Amino acid sequence: MILETLVVGPLQVNCYLVGCESTRQAAVIDPGTDVPMILKALKKHGLTLKKIINTHGHFDHIGGNRELLEATGAELLIHADDQPLLQLASQHAANFGLQTEDSPAPTGNFSDGDIIAVGDLQLKVLHTPGHSPGGVSLLCEDHLFSGDTLFAGSVGRTDLPGADHQALLNSIKTQLAGLPDSTIVHPGHGPNSQIGEEKRHNPFLQ
């Protein structure tokens, strides 16, 4: 698996480039902005973008959707429960004193347990609501892309519209905590961690 992390936008979103070594097909997870940097990384690895995946619909994770779609013709995928947020991105960004553009409608939705194929790679969708109703995490081999559900030493904020703190903790308990301790956690912001490390030291998981 080819994996590169690109930190994008004023809120320092972790945008992940995931590529299949044999087919050179790729997915981009959470293109918040800085699309030229994303396209440069794809070119560097010799990859063709097939899937744009939003772990959730908040503006800082989707701001590059339109430009990346227009540049590549890739599919855009998001959980149906967060699809309404795509058309509210500019409004929500303005609430934080920032600017972005609304996203086009997705070309498809996914649900819990679905498999997103990227060449020979398989990304399993784990519905992890709480930070947002349609928030998901994505499991590929021993790598978990947790969006804004689980961070190193913390969890996603739940003071936003549609958020639910108890639902978030339940998502982590039922969907993520049972993964092998060695599973690498790639969060939506901040440094990587491991499931075992979070179970031992994350105060929200105690």
> pLDDT (tens digit, 9 = 90+) per residue, 115-140?
999 999 999 999 999 999 999 999 99
Per-residue model confidence (pLDDT) at position 177 = 97
Number of independent structural domains in the chain = 1
**What is the mean predicted confidence (pLDDT) over 37-60?**
98
pLDDT at 151: 98
Report the CATH number at residue 13.
Answer: 3.60.15.10
Average pLDDT for residues 5-30, to the nearest whole number? 97
Specify the residue for token string 């958020």: 163
86-103 mean pLDDT: 91
Please report the pLDDT score of residue 206 as a whole number. 86
pLDDT at 63 (0 to 100): 96
What is the tens place of the pLDDT at every residue in 152-206? 999 999 999 899 999 999 999 999 999 999 999 999 999 999 999 999 999 999 8
Share of the chain above pLDDT 70, in %: 100
- Report pTM: 0.97
CB 60 within 8 A of CB 13: yes
Contacts of 33 (CB under 8 A, 6+ apart): 8, 9, 13, 63, 64, 100
Q: Which residues of 131-166 are buried (b: 16+ CB within 10 A; e: fewer)?
A: bbbbbbbbbbeebbbbbbbbbbeebbebeeebbeee
Which two three-digit tokens encode residue 41?
């990384």
**Res 67: pLDDT:** 97
On average, the pLDDT of the chain sits at 97
- Sign for the CA dihedral angle at 180, 181, 187, 192 comes to negative
Tell me the residue range of the domain where 125 lies.
2-205
Specify the pLDDT at position 71.
97
pLDDT of residue 56: 98
Q: What confidence category does residue 95 fall into, taking pLDDT thresholds of 50, 70 and 90?
A: confident
- How crowded is residue 120: how many other Cβ atoms within 10 Å of its Cβ? 11
C-alpha–C-alpha distance, residues 144 and 119, integer Å: 18
